[in-house]
Homo-oligomer: A and B are copies of this chain.
Amino acid sequence: MGEFDLIDRYFKRPATRNPLGVGDDCALLGLAPGMQLAVSCDMLVEGRHFLSTIDPRKLGHKSLAVNLSDLAACGAEPLAFTLALALPQADDAWLEPFSRGLLALADQHGCELVGGDTTRGPLNICVTVFGQVPPGQALLRSGARPGDDIYASGTLGDARLALEVFRGTLALPPELFTAARTRLEQPTPRVALGVALRGVATAAIDVSDGLAGDLGHVLDQSAVGARIEAEALLQLMAAPAGAVAAEHRLECVLAGGDDYELAFTAPPQRRQAVAAAAAIAGVRVTRIGRIEAEPGLRVVDAAGDPMPQRFASFDHFA
Contact = CB atoms under 8 A, between A and B. Distances in A.
Interface of A: 1-4, 6, 19-20, 23-31, 33-34, 36-43, 45-49, 70-71, 73-74, 76, 80, 82-87, 89-90, 114-122, 124, 126, 128, 130-131, 133, 135, 138, 140-142, 204-206, 221, 315-318
Given A28-B36, A39-B114, A120 B82 contact: no
Contact of A315 (B3, B122, B138): B3
A133 B122 CA distance: 35
Contacts of A4: 315
Q: How many copies does the complex hold?
A: 2
A24 B41 CA distance: 11
Contact of A42 (B20, B84, B140): B84
A43 B317 contact: no
Q: Which 7 A-B pairs have the closest CB atoms?
A: A45-B121, A25-B73, A43-B84, A26-B38, A126-B126, A122-B122, A128-B128
A134 to B, nearest CB: 11
A118 B209 CA distance: 13
Contacts of A37: 28-29, 31, 37, 130
Given A31-B37, A86-B124, A316 B42 contact: no
Contacts of A27: 38-40
Nearest to A133: B28
Contact of A26 (B2, B74, B117): B74
Given A2-B318, A115-B39, A317-B90, A122 B121 contact: yes
